[in-house]
Structure 1
């Protein structure tokens, strides 16, 4: 049986976090020198010792468009593929690639379907918080396990389902929803495009237990906040 390394960051309980700001040229240059912070969740950087040596490593940025993480991997001489469903995020990725003259394979696709990669294609998968837009999150974990090489690593961020109990703005400390949560289906088409689709809560059983069921071994875990705490 394939055994891959699983490392997760749990997305916390508050609102915030900006996933559509591409890295600056200055940050890219720092990445060339091995100086970088990477984020699976809004505010707490991924521990540096979670990363395998990146030079020559095949890395998949799963739902990781936006020109934030994958250009840093490319700066470390990794062989990088980014896979995302959002045209806007992929355009930002393309902009950074062209600005820096880096090499990243950019693929648009739906991670709720079978991923368009052969078995054991990647050494590492970097998967920031995003599977709240997928109905069957266990499918995502199974596909990650399938396309990782033996001994490969999945670094994944996901949302604490308790987040979805609460409202937004003035109501962010008030329980307004029940679990499991399935978005607000009364959103207009424009609102759905802006938010990326209807969000879904996933239990820790399907998030963590689903990863273990797929064949991963949990090595490390940390918690973060969804809203900056003073």
Structure 2
């Protein structure tokens, strides 16, 4: 079995157990967005600054590995024409459910983001990519694909795991792993994930995550840090995530 399929199976189980990133927005949240009261997140706690967004009316937005019915309904309420790509069918089902409930159209695509994206060059004005590339081994090819499918001047908003979580044990009390965390190359790390049904996950460096966007052709416009939102690292104020706003040159 490919590791991407292992991850889809793990995420499906997490959703059945109440995983927060698999719970779609309710009707009231959608109605508030229609009225101009909204936020979305790319990382656990900090909302994306509203100034990061262009006027979304009529804009083509790709939710990249963004299934779950959380970001796309909000952006649709703001006037965007949304496509959501994910590899876990249950996550895509959540977006279908919200679209049917709220009577809007969304394009739903099941695809593996570690492969070339199934879209023409210059298809989108904005890509919204919540934390998810921790589930793929190589991220530079993904950044290059994002650059390709964006129109000139298009924006990429990405939530990124900075790797700290993979260095610590589950109790976040001590460092137990060297980095990079790559279970395909380290059987002990794979065993750690298997014990708790955490799929197959990978740490990525600043070089891969941020420099990689620059290498793909993007200009970094803004960024911020975030914590886990709970647990010892959060209590100590240790950032474990980044979010970046990047732009494809005109």
Compare 36-45 and 92-101 and name the one that shifted more.
Answer: 92-101
What is residue 190 of structure 2 aligned with on the other side? 185
Alignment of 1:159-174 (within 5 A): 159-168=161-170, 171-174=171-174
| Offset from partner CA, 1:170-227 (integer Å, 9 cap, x none) | x212111110102442355993xxx4x3000111101001000000001101011113
Question: TM-score normalised to the size of structure 2?
Answer: 0.80
What is residue 101 of structure 2 aligned with on the other side? 99
User: In 1, are the aligned partners of 2:182 and 2:201 still within 8 Å (CA)?
Assistant: yes
Once residues 142 and 163 of structure 1 are traced to their aligned partners in structure 2, the CA distance between those partners, rounded to angstroms, is: 26
Structure 2, unaligned runs of 5 or more: 1-18, 184-188, 236-250
Which structure ranks higher in relative contact order (CA pairs < 8 Å, sequence separation ≥ 6)? 1
What is residue 139 of structure 2 aligned with on the other side? 137
User: In 1, are the aligned partners of 2:137 and 2:182 still within 8 Å (CA)?
Assistant: no
- Helix, strand or coil: the match of 2:21? coil
User: In 2, are the aligned partners of 1:18 and 1:42 still within 8 Å (CA)?
Assistant: no
What is residue 241 of structure 2 aligned with on the other side? none
| Offset from partner CA, 1:87-132 (integer Å, 9 cap, x none) | 1111111111111111110000000000000001000000000001
Number of aligned pairs?
Answer: 208
What is residue 7 of structure 2 aligned with on the other side? none
| Offset from partner CA, 1:61-102 (integer Å, 9 cap, x none) | 000000000011111121100000111111111111111111
Alignment of 1:209-220 (within 5 A): 209-220=211-222
| Offset from partner CA, 1:2-34 (integer Å, 9 cap, x none) | xxxxxxxxxxxxxxx931111010000011122
Structure 1, unaligned runs of 5 or more: 1-16
User: In 2, are the aligned partners of 1:132 and 1:159 still within 8 Å (CA)?
Assistant: yes
User: In 1, are the aligned partners of 2:61 and 2:128 still within 8 Å (CA)?
Assistant: yes
Compare 99-108 and 176-185 and name the one that shifted more.
Answer: 176-185
Once residues 37 and 57 of structure 2 are traced to their aligned partners in structure 1, the CA distance between those partners, rounded to angstroms, is: 14
Alignment of 1:1-230 (within 5 A): 18-168=20-170, 171-183=171-183, 184-186=189-191, 191=197, 195=198, 197-228=199-230, 229=234
Once residues 18 and 163 of structure 1 are traced to their aligned partners in structure 2, the CA distance between those partners, rounded to angstroms, is: 18
- Helix, strand or coil: the match of 2:22? coil
| Offset from partner CA, 1:32-54 (integer Å, 9 cap, x none) | 12211110001000001000101
